[in-house]
Structures are given as structure tokens and as C-alpha cells.
Chain A
Amino acid sequence: MVQAIDLTKEYNGVTVLNLPDLRIGAGESFGLVGNNGAGKTTFFRLILDLIAATTGEVLINGQKVARNDNWKQITGSFLDEGFLIDFLTPEEYFNFVAKLHHITESDLNAFLASIEDIFNGEILGNKKLIREFSKGNQKKIGIAAALIGDPQLLILDEPFTALDPSSQIRLKRFLEELQKRTNMTMLISSHDLNHVTDVCKRIVILEKGKIVNDLQTNTDTLKELESYFAVS
């Protein structure tokens, strides 16, 4: 599904990401962990063609992402507030995205009903602009918008931060269930080792732009991760 070939990114001569060959298969749930500055967001931005790679390339379904619009049809993403159009109401924003994917209003409403559990009644029907919502609710709006159009590939950067504990658990369940049902490829970065091991079947640890560990999740994974990140 996603392939990074000889992918490097340098800023002012410092290599911040170096992935000689990373393949993420279709239907895989892929977790990316690492401390600040490990290159997680850089990797996601490269996949989404928001920054230019220094060398190498990213392919989605075998096609280069650079100068290509095709991957946008099957990719849903939310990295930060830059992915929201903050002077719209959530409804207007969802409608806008739905139209881009040629989704009918009734299908959109059905989708919004399915995610209402996460919205917790705070998002829809408030006549508020997105910029007036709290950070946590903005994140929910962004994640929901990323899911419109049944993407085959979903990319979320730190989806759990800024959410309240109950929302975190609800979101985790929602993503797990969605992944099972639709066999969507999911790329998630997180600082929360607990959640990410719950949701993802494969976990990659990045350190200073390099993969230092590539694990299939099992009962010991959480311990392994905790020991890796433990401060001695």
C-alpha cells in the first residue's frame, strides 16, 4: 500500500529521516512511535506530499505521490489544525469534504451517526465555527473528516493527545472496529504506548529518523516498548 524507497529528508544538512526500504501492506495497522524529533510527522508529511524528499520517493499503490492527485482519492489524513478549515461549521466542513468525494448527503449523515459516539453530542448542531471549538473537539472533527469517503489509507498524527480519557478509549475502539470491518490501512503515530499497541498490529520505533525496531504486536510488545523508552 505504502512504500518508501531510499527516502531521506535533510534540513540544513542534518538528516531527519532515513528510510531505505519501508513497506506497509494493504490492511495493515501500522503504529509509529518515537520521541520528539524522531521524524514521525516528517514521514507523514512526505507520504502526503507536503514536503519534498531530499532523495528517494514514496509510493501509494505503486504510484509516486509527488505531482500526482490520484492518491488523494483513497487517502484520509489528519496531522494538525492545518487540516481544518476553521471558519466553517463542522457540518459545512464535513459537507465540503463529502462533496469532494461525491458522497450523498444521506451517506454522510449515516457516517456522522456512526461516529456520534466519539462526538459525544458536542460537535454537531452547535452553530459554532470550528475555530471556536476546543483543541480536543477540533481533533475529533479533523479525524471524522479524514474518514469521510471510506479511505483505503488513513494517516493520523497523535490522534489521542488532547482528547479526554473517555474519548481516547472510544476512539481506540472505533478505529479497531473500523479496521476490522473495512480492512483499511492505518498509519498512526502516538506517544501513548498503551493505545498504540492496542490499535496497531505492527509497531515501528523511530529514532533520529531511523527505524530502530520493527515489531509485530503481541502480549510482550507493550513491555518491550516501555523498556525501550524507559529513562535510565
Chain B
Amino acid sequence: MLLLDLLKQDGKKAIRSQAFYKNLAVNIMLGFFGLYMAASLLITGLALGPMLEKVPGPYNPTELVNASMLYVILFALIARFTMQSLSTLDLQSLQALPIRRDTLVNYLLIKPLFNPVNYLTLLLAIPFAIRSTAVYYDGATAFRFVLGAIFIIWFDSLTAAFLKRAFGSNIFSLIILLAIAGGLIALEYFKLFSLGEVSEAIFTTALQHPLGWLVPLAAVGFAYLLNRWFFARNYYIESFNKKKEEIRLTQLSFLDRFGIIGDLIGLEIKLILRHKRTKSILYLSFFFLFYGLLFYRDPKMATNYGMLFFAATFVTGLLMLMFGQWVISWDGSYFDSLMTKNIPVQSYIEANYYLLASFCTACFILTTPYFFFGSRILYLHLAALLFNLGVNIFFLVFFATYNTKRIDLSKSSAMNYQGTTIKNFLIMLPMLFFPWIVVQLLATFFNPAVALGTVGSIGLLGILFHRQLIQLCVNQFNRRKYALAQGFRESE
């Protein structure tokens, strides 16, 4: 079958790709990360049944899971909407061959379903089905539960692809999706309308009926037809492979008054706004802002200041960490231009410093709602902000000069690790863990105030001596300039 051939070709492409081997270290790291995720899911799956036993109320664990099912579907959809990349065709090589359009469309739709990452959630569903559903019902029901889970994965994948194709992955579509989710949660919370009850009714009924699995399957069929309908409407194959880029010309005239540094910062902001990859990092960062909730609300963390400071450094330095790890290499495609136009090296480094500093400040402001958890958080965030501004930024800019891999911003979006090397991870580690250890030790042997005062003061020193530190980075940059230019000129 032709469709299978196309899928096989795709596998070959992945295995034979140069970048795969070149970047082996990163792939191994990502592999470990994947294993870690898989293990976490498996353990959660094993523990989920017993945990849900303890929930008061008339529902058994399976019914509870069913009650949350619509929410799970919705949130998985949002996650996919932000992270899942659309599959595209290598059109030029296929267009000339006698392949029916239908086959190509099917290929585009079905290909993502073969990605094993999709099925990671089964590691949670299967142990739960065996340990809990099979006990309350029977083996056949447990089997139907797992089958349903697979169908839900397909449904989410197809629907997310449709939404992305039809509405584009812009921030407004995301806001609408988030608003819907937020609205439903509010309705549930104020007991006006319970999606949970609806969800429980649908899925438990479907689960108990021998042919109940037809319900999620019908949903998959519906999502598939939606996609087909979209392709039928947008007939020309070009129009779904390459969307015409619409540029909104950003006016950043407020930056004019800062001279060359302002112009360079304006340039970087345009870079972020006009590339998919950087934009999706931006959206993703927004979600990570909520990372603090995991720590600040947890009573077990209340005295664990090292951990709390780690979280504070992370949320207040989020954009700095996300973008800062590529701070020079994202200029790779026009590095020669920056080096030969009338831009003093000093201004270039300063521009990068001030850009990252404004990222830090922005994150600090965005995370002010955390202060509701107590004045403690205010001190934590202030100390973290100072540490980020005074130490971590220089660390990033200094070591960024070792990252000579050019980043191809034009390609793909989230979960794109092109241009990521083991160095990126190595740089991040001391930035996050060094202050963690310092704060932990000082808080244990003295008190939290001393700990935060110390890291805050270190940061303040860095800010006071920023001229000298920038000079240090300039010298480092000058030393590494040729290696950088050379590296950026080589494409993968």
C-alpha cells in the first residue's frame, strides 16, 4: 500500500538524517528524559487506583477517571495545540510522482499517529485498567478502557491538527481555547454546570456497554472528517503546505531613543515575533510561569528554601533561561552582517545584556501574583531577580560564545532541538543548582534571611559591576568570534 510506503520512507529519513548522529549526546539526554517521563507515568498509573480509592463519595476510581475524562481531553488538546507540530510533506519530491491527492492527505493526517510519544499516556492507562478497572468490572471492560484511551489520543491528535490548520497557531486561538477551559472550570467550581458529571455519565455508560467503544471511535471519525473537509475546502496542495506568511509590521519606535543598543534589541524582538520556533517558546514560557504553584503551595516545601529559591530563579528567569541559552547563536544566520556593519562589539554584547535583563524584569512583574502566597515569596523573588540580573545573565552571555551551532529558526516549532547541544544543558545546570545549594546550606546553618540576603547581595554586586562584567564578556566574545562565525557559516 502506498500509504505504508510513504510512512516507511519517513522512518528512513529520520534514521538516516545527519543531524541525528551529529547530535547524539543531546539525543541520549532527551532519551533519558523520555525514560524518566515514561517511568513517572508508569508509577502514577500503578498508584492511581489506590489513590483514588481514598477519594470520598459514591464513585469508584474508574468512574472518577471517567469524570475527569472530558477535562483531560480538553487539556491534552490545548497542550497539543501549543506543542504538536503539523506534519508536512516533502512536496517537491512527491508532486511529480503519480500519487493521488487523497493518499497524500491521508498520509498527512495519519502520520502523526505513528509517533510513539503519543502513546506514552498508555503507560498510565494500562496499569490503571489492570489494577483498578478490571477489579471493579471485568477484564473485557478494562480492555475497552484502554481501547478508549487510544481512541482519545487519536481524537486529540486529529482535532489539534485541524484546529492548527484551520485557525493557525496564533496566540488568539490559544487564548480562546484557554478561555473555554477556564470557563468550564469556573462553571464546575461554582456548581452551575458540571462537565464532570456529564463526562462521568458518558464514559461510564460507554465503558459498560460491550459496543460502547464505538462512541470514542465515532469521535475519531468525526475529527478525521473535519480534517478531510478542511483539505477539500482548501484544495490546492500548496496552500496547506506553506501558508502565506502574513507579516504584521511591528513598530518599535520607542526603542529609538536608546541608539544602537535599542535598534539591536528591536531586531531581536522582531526575530522572536517572526519565527515559529521562538514564538512557541514564548507561549510555552507562559505555561511555565505557573510552575511556582507546584512549589509555593506545597506545605512540604515550606521550609525547603533551596528548592523554593530554585523555583523562584526559574519563574523569574524564565524568558531569560529560555531565550538566553541561544543568545548569540540565534543571530547565526546573519552573524556576518552584525560583524561587518557599523556595530561595535561592545554595543552588541550590551544589547544582549539589556534584552535578557528586560526579560527578567518582565517575568518578575508577571509573577507578582505569587506574592499572595505570602511576603516570603516577595523576598524569594527579589533575591532571585537580583541573582538573575547580576550573575546568571553574564553567565549565559559569557558561555553562549561556546555555542557555535547555527540555529535554523525557520524550521518547525516546539520540541525542536536543532542547534541544541550538550553545552546548553551544561550551562543551565550551575545557573540553577549553584544558588539552590548555597541557599539550602545557609538556610540550614543560619536562617533563610541570611541565605536570601547572601544570594541577593551577590546579584547586587554583579549589577553594580556590570560594566566590568560586560567588558569580560566582550573580551571573551572577541576571542571566540572567528569560531562563532565559522560555526554559523556551516549549515547542517
User: Does B119 interact with chain A (Cβ within 8 Å)?
Assistant: no
**B 323-359 contacts with A by CB, 8 A:** 333-337, 339-346
Say yes or no: B486 contacts A51, CB within 8 Å. yes
**With A87-B275, A99-B260, A100-B263 given, is the CB distance from A72 to B333 under 8 Å?**
no
**A 110-128 contacts with B by CB, 8 A:** 127-128
> What's the nearest-Cβ distance from chain B to residue A16, in Å?
14
**With A51-B485, A82-B488, A129-B245 given, is the CB distance from A69 to B267 under 8 Å?**
no
Say yes or no: B340 contacts A89, CB within 8 Å. no
The docked-state distance in angstroms from the alpha carbon of A96 to that of B245 is: 22
Q: What is the number of residues of chain A that contact chain B, defined by CB distance less than 8 Å? A: 33
User: Does A75 interact with chain B (Cβ within 8 Å)?
Assistant: yes
**With A50-B482, A89-B247 given, is the CB distance from A82 to B337 under 8 Å?**
yes
The docked-state distance in angstroms from the alpha carbon of A190 to that of B343 is: 28
**With A52-B482, A129-B247 given, is the CB distance from A85 to B339 under 8 Å?**
no
Say yes or no: B337 contacts A85, CB within 8 Å. yes
**With A85-B267, A100-B263 given, is the CB distance from A127 to B485 under 8 Å?**
no
Measured between beta carbons, the chain B residues less than 8 angstroms from A149 are 342
The docked-state distance in angstroms from the alpha carbon of A127 to that of B335 is: 24
Say yes or no: B482 contacts A51, CB within 8 Å. yes
The docked-state distance in angstroms from the alpha carbon of A77 to that of B338 is: 11
B interface, over-half SS: helix
Residues of chain B whose beta carbon lies under 8 Å from any beta carbon of chain A: 245, 247, 249, 256, 260, 263, 267, 270-271, 274-275, 333-337, 339-346, 409-410, 478, 481-482, 485-486, 488-489
Q: Which of B249, B256, B334, B488 has the most CB of A within 10 A?
A: B334
> What's the nearest-Cβ distance from chain A to residue B190, in Å?
46
Which 5 pairs of residues, A with B, have the shortest CB-CB distance? A82-B336, A69-B344, A52-B482, A100-B342, A87-B274
Say yes or no: A72 contacts B249, CB within 8 Å. no
**With A85-B334, A87-B271 given, is the CB distance from A99 to B340 under 8 Å?**
no
- Give 6 new A-B contacts, CB below 8 A, not counting A88-B267, A99-B263, A127-B247: A48-B336, A50-B339, A82-B336, A88-B270, A89-B249, A92-B249
Q: Which of A51, A82, A89 has the most CB of B within 10 A?
A: A82
The closest CB in chain B to the CB of A70 belongs to B344
The docked-state distance in angstroms from the alpha carbon of A134 to that of B186 is: 52
Measured between beta carbons, the chain B residues less than 8 angstroms from A96 are 263, 267
Say yes or no: A127 contacts B263, CB within 8 Å. no
Measured between beta carbons, the chain A residues less than 8 angstroms from B335 are 82
Interface flags for A77-100 (1: CB within 8 Å of B; 0: not) read 101101111111100100011011
Question: 6 pairs across A/B with beta carbons < 8 Å?
Answer: A69-B345, A82-B333, A82-B488, A87-B270, A100-B260, A127-B247
The closest CB in chain A to the CB of B278 belongs to A87
Partner of A127, one of B249, B270, B488, B489: B249
**With A51-B482, A52-B482, A88-B270 given, is the CB distance from A100 to B341 under 8 Å?**
yes
Measured between beta carbons, the chain A residues less than 8 angstroms from B249 are 89, 92, 127
The docked-state distance in angstroms from the alpha carbon of A100 to that of B260 is: 6
The docked-state distance in angstroms from the alpha carbon of A48 to that of B275 is: 29
